[in-house]
Structure 1
Amino acid sequence: MKTTLFRSLRLLAMCMSLLAFTVACDDDDDDDLPIIDDDLEFENIALSGANERPKVITDGTGTFNGEYDPASNTLTYSLSWTLGEPTDSTIMMHFHGPADTTTSAGIQIPILGHTRNYTGTFSGSATLTDQQEQQLEDGLWYVNIHSGTHRNGELRGQLLED
């Protein structure tokens, strides 16, 4: 009788262990877990003269898209733009900060190698310092496109994450 009881208890313990293992391996409940992504994403940031400080009057427009990877401290980006005057030229581009949407700030990183035409596209990347990363995360950076007509900036877009 004791032997039968011990066998039954041992069989029950094995079944319970197998059941616990099976439930622990079930991945159906993993679908609701959030994916941790520390990257900052900037999608379709509008560039305009109305965003300049002080505002400028221009028919020019542009778009900025980018992603910041904190693991590598790299901001990868693409820009497209058209200045307000076809006879104008793009003379400079920069990332500026720290500044909110109501103020201007100094150059943080120049954007080199872009076309000097009145319209264009450009892609690039930049490595940020820890201080620059914090400013970017806080929404205190903007991209600025300077033209021959508006040397202080014709098109500006604040880099605010989606």
Structure 2
Amino acid sequence: MKMKTYRINFGILLGALLSLSFVLTGCDDDDDTTVIPDAEIVTLNEVALTGAAEAPPVNTQATGTFRGTYNMDTKVINYTVTFQNISPTAMHFHKGAVGVSGPITVPINPGSDPYSSDNPYISPLVSSTPPLTDAQEAELLAGEWYINIHSSQYPNGELRGQITR
């Protein structure tokens, strides 16, 4: 009986093993964000930011928009603020009804010193809040929050918009 001998080309075998490892690791999930399955996400209405919405109203050429979502599980607002024709000196979320000034609830701070020329507010500003308290969540979802953009010309606020869902 004759026996066959097989020669193994280690270069081909190594290449095949490396290719297989790339295929298997290529299927790994690259998503670095934490996703909470079945998280309830509330879409907040897009809000026009205007001087007419200020309390009292101001006459300005500046405009802006607010877009955001609220995650009921993490209690975090993820948002984008855009603005034109304004150099913001400060931005905040406030508690207050339409036409009524109210206290700051959450500052919008793009860095350690929003007044520094090294750290200006830049449009679009994409950010998120720290987790809200239960009371803040109730106020937000009841439409009792507004966003306010301040400037040196209007230190009490140049642009405002009521946040609703």
Tell whether the structures are fold-level matches, with TM greater than 0.5. yes
Q: How does 1:68-79 map to 2 (within 5 A)?
A: 68-79=70-81
Q: Equivalent of 1:46, from 45, 48, 60?
A: 48
Number of residue pairs the alignment of both structures matches: 120
Whole-angstrom distance in 2 between the partners of 1:116 and 1:48:
20
Q: 1:50 to 1:153 in 2, by over 3 A?
A: same
Instruction: Return the index of the structure with the highest Cα Rg.
Output: 1
1:107 — aligned with what?
104
1:125 has 2:123 as partner: no
1:29 — aligned with what?
none
Q: Equivalent of 1:91, from 68, 89, 112?
A: 89
Whole-angstrom distance in 1 between the partners of 2:47 and 2:54:
14
Deviation by residue 1:34-79 (Cα, 9 ceiling, x = unmatched): xx98422124210000010010110110000000011111111000
* 4+ runs deviating over 6 angstroms: none
Deviation by residue 1:72-122 (Cα, 9 ceiling, x = unmatched): 1111100000135xxxx310000000x1112110100111116636x6210
Corresponding residue SS for 1:135: helix
Q: Which segment drifts farther, 75-84 or 37-46?
A: 37-46
* TM-score, structure 1 normalization: 0.69
Corresponding residue SS for 2:138: helix
- One-letter amino acid of the counterpart of residue 139, structure 2: Q
Identical counterparts, % of pairs? 38
- One-letter amino acid of the counterpart of residue 94, structure 1: H
1:8 — aligned with what?
none
1:153 — aligned with what?
157
The CA RMSD over aligned residues, in Å, is 1.9
* TM-score, structure 2 normalization: 0.67
Corresponding residue SS for 1:49: coil
**Which runs of 5 or more residues in structure 1 are unaligned?**
1-35
Whole-angstrom distance in 1 between the partners of 2:45 and 2:71:
15
Whole-angstrom distance in 1 between the partners of 2:97 and 2:109:
24
**Which runs of 5 or more residues in structure 2 are unaligned?**
1-37
